Amino acid sequence: MPKRTDLHSILIIGAGPIVIGQACEFDYSGTQACKVLREEGYRVILVNSNPATIMTDPEFADRTYIEPITPYFVGKIIERERPDALLPTMGGQTALNTAVALAEDGVLDTYGVELIGAKLEAIKKAENRELFQKTMREIGLETPRGNFVRSVDEAAAFAEKVGFPIIIRPSFTLGGTGGGTVFSAEEYHAKVGHALAASPIHETLVEESVIGWKEFELEVMRDLKDNVVIICSIENVDPMGVHTGDSITVAPAQTLTDKEYQFMRDAAKRIIRAIGVETGGSNIQFAVNPDDGRMLIIEMNPRVSRSSALASKATGFPIAKIAAKLSVGYTLDEIPNDITKKTPASFEPTIDYCVVKIPRWDFEKFKGVDDTLGVQMKSVGEAMAFGRTFKEALQKALRSLEQGRYGLGADGKDEFEIALLDDESKRRWRERVVNRLRQPKADNIFYLRYAIQLGMTVDELFEITKIDRWFLYNVQQIVEMEEELKEYELPSQKYPEGIPSAKIQGSKTFPDME
């Protein structure tokens, strides 16, 4: 199918200011979309209130509106510019919510604006959890048991049915604001109140907790000819209970059996079809029970997301760019892959390396806040690294974070040197480390290392953290390697002349670094 010629001008909504849960990944997606659609000859109208974005540079759109992203002001822009279509999938939840409001208020109909990328019905099926659960049931897939409640009493009735822990997820909030996992009735009442207040529609999901299950994501794309490709699988090192944005994640998924992975792929295809995303990308989250492999569908984002930015960078497959092309009628087999130029976008990416992403938090700026990680995202940024193995990528990612760490410990920043501890200190440290690991916290990865140095086994650590044993074995191997390295010493402290010096222009010596 060639591109649509009935459309001439397209309005793109950006994500607005950087907030926790919605960062510059949407500048990346929006910039790509603007670029591609203009290359295709469309008149691009953009609205975004964030001046620090590349996409709001006047060269990237025909008309750039630095106006508040609210239905009122976007409505004014529509009234003035009369675009043929609105692409709402590039600007995160902000853009999607605004587009839904404009559609429901009749503004889009009044001015004859077509939603492209995701239709209203598909957005609603994906975003409204009741509809989503129903759709999943219809295609034979399971979701966690849950109810939407609009009052504390309704919430209490649900809790009696399923017991604790329960996850609270307020509807239509960014990064899960107002949500959390609760373990007691007391806590539950307070948090449900908070969640209802946070939700713009005064509604929250209360859900059976799958805390401790393994968490996965698939990035999926579909076109008008019903071609579906899986771009990338992402596995969360931290199990369910920690927001994906706050988890260490790895691509591709490492711990699934082939059978489990194939089942997940098939499910993803069924989901994107059932939800009805026809021209674009989606992100689908899965939970897998580590004991029996039972798989649940957690949620789906019918738009470009933080994970799609990650998947694009991890694979080289530009999801936002391709999604923009799909939205104007191209099909996956018609779009060339811009890295190879030979293969079409309908070729699924293959990767022969490992990618690790680690979030970065800024808790020290907010005295008194709870730094335990949960279903509400708290990180303010992230770093990613490539390696041929998980171990290499993990250590590179840790030093990419720029928090003074140069890998998984052994960099002079550790809280203790194992060789210098006596038995009593070891016992006390072990206690501290175990207590620490019982709760997900920002730099628990370093505590896993301490635990292994202190003689804890992978099985013990799995019981405490529910982090898959495969990851724990990798941490163990890094620790063992460190021990092995300690058996070596430099041949001599001084080098004779004639050793190859730096290969940089003009450099004769290696002065002290940093």
Which residues between 469 and 488 bind other proteins (CB under 8 A)?
477-478, 481-482, 484-488
Q: Does 69 bind other proteins (CB under 8 A)?
A: yes
Segment 197 to 226, residues that bind other proteins, using CB under 8 A: 197-198
What's the CA gap between 26 and 214, in Å, rounded?
A: 27
Using the rule CB under 8 A, is 278 a contact of other proteins? no
**Amino acid residing at 319:** I
Beta bridge partners of 300: 284
| DSSP single-letter state for residue 419 | G
Binding-site member from 124, 214, 306, 449 for other proteins (CB under 8 A): 306
Measure the CA–CA gap between 474 and 260, rounded to whole angstroms: 22
Residue 493 in contact with other proteins, rule: CB under 8 A: yes
Alpha carbons 196 and 178: distance in angstroms, whole number: 8
Task: Find the part of the chain contacting other proteins (CB under 8 A) among 107-115, 354-362, 424-432, 462-470.
Answer: 354-362
Q: Which stretch binds other proteins (CB under 8 A): 105-113, 290-298, 450-458, 505-513?
A: 505-513
Instruction: Identify the DSSP state of 337.
Output: P
* Binding window for other proteins (CB under 8 A); candidates: 286-294, 333-341, 421-429, 462-470: 333-341
| Binding span for other proteins by CB under 8 A among 15-23, 133-141, 266-274, 426-434 | 15-23
Cα(100)–Cα(117) distance, integer angstroms? 13
Contact between 13 and 91 under an 8 Å Cβ cutoff? The reply is: yes
The DSSP line for 165-230 is -EEEEETT-GGGTT-EEE-SHHHHHHHHHHHHHHSTTS-EEEEE--TTSEEEEEEEEE-TT--EEE
| CA-closest candidate to residue 53, choices 37, 65, 71, 40 | 65
User: Per CB under 8 A, does 28 bind other proteins?
Assistant: yes
* Least CB distance to other proteins at residue 163 (A): 26
Footprint on residues 33-62 left by other proteins (CB under 8 A): 35, 45, 49-54, 56-58, 62
Q: Supply the minimum distance, in Å, between the C-beta of residue 129 and other proteins.
A: 21
Tokens of 287: 């939970």
Q: Build a one-symbol-per-residue string for 87-126: x at contacts with other proteins by CB under 8 A, - elsewhere.
A: ----------------------------------------
Do 216 and 235 touch, CB atoms closer than 8 A? yes
Q: How far is the CB of 15 from other proteins (least distance, A)?
A: 10
Residue 61 vs 167, nearer CB to other proteins: 61
382 contacts other proteins (rule: CB under 8 A): yes
Q: Which of 132, 317, 450, 471 binds other proteins (CB under 8 A)?
A: 317
Amino acid sitting at position 187? E
Q: Which of residues 410-469 bind other proteins (CB under 8 A)?
A: 410-412
| Contact between 399 and other proteins per CB under 8 A | yes
Query: Considering only 27-35, 209-217, 272-280, 282-290, which stretch makes contact with other proteins by CB under 8 A?
Result: 27-35
The nearer residue to other proteins, 167 or 310, going by C-beta atoms, is 310
* Residues 47, 48, 52, 53, CA torsion sign: negative
Q: Which amino acid is present at 165?
A: P
Nearer to other proteins, 161 or 508 (CB): 508
Beta partners for 387? Answer: 354
Out of 138, 338, 431, 459, name the contact with other proteins by CB under 8 A: 338
Do 69 and 48 form a contact (C-beta atoms < 8 A)?
Answer: yes
C-alpha dist (Å) from residue 262 to 259, 285, 391, 415: 5, 15, 26, 43
User: Of the ranges 107-115, 147-155, 366-374, 437-445, which one interacts with other proteins (CB under 8 A)?
Assistant: 366-374
Q: Is 511 in the site for other proteins (CB under 8 A)?
A: yes
Q: Which of 8, 41, 80, 425 binds other proteins (CB under 8 A)?
A: 80
Give least dist CB 272 to other proteins, A.
Answer: 20
Closest residue by Cα to residue 241 from 438, 35, 15 = 438
DSSP 354: E
Two tokens, residue 425: 């200190």
Residue from 318, 329, 374, 440 touching other proteins (CB under 8 A): that is 318
Q: Are 118 and 39 in contact (CB under 8 A)?
A: no
Distance of closest approach, residue 502 Cβ to other proteins, in angstroms: 6
Q: How far is the CB of 295 from other proteins (least distance, A)?
A: 27
* 321, 323, 429, 447: residue in contact with other proteins (rule CB under 8 A): 321
Are the CB atoms for 149 and 204 separated by under 8 Å? yes
Q: Segment near other proteins (CB under 8 A), from 82-90, 95-103, 398-406, 451-459? A: 398-406
| Cβ-based nearer residue to other proteins, 327 or 400 | 400
Residue 27 CA to chain centroid, in angstroms?
15
CA distance 493 to 475: 31
Q: How far apart are CA 360 and CA 401, in angstroms?
A: 7
Choosing from 300, 357, 374, 452, the residue that interacts with other proteins (CB under 8 A) is: 357
Among 161, 163, 341, 423, binds other proteins (CB under 8 A): 341
| Residue 378 contacts other proteins per CB under 8 A | yes
Q: With left for phi above 0 and alpha for psi between -120 and 50, is residue 185 left, alpha or beta?
A: alpha
How many residues interact with other proteins (rule CB under 8 A)? 134
Report the distance separating Cα 503 and Cα 485, nearest Å. Answer: 27
Q: Considering only residues 158-187, where is the footprint of other proteins by CB under 8 A?
A: 175, 177
- Region binding other proteins by CB under 8 A among candidate stretches 163-171, 256-264, 306-314, 461-469: 306-314
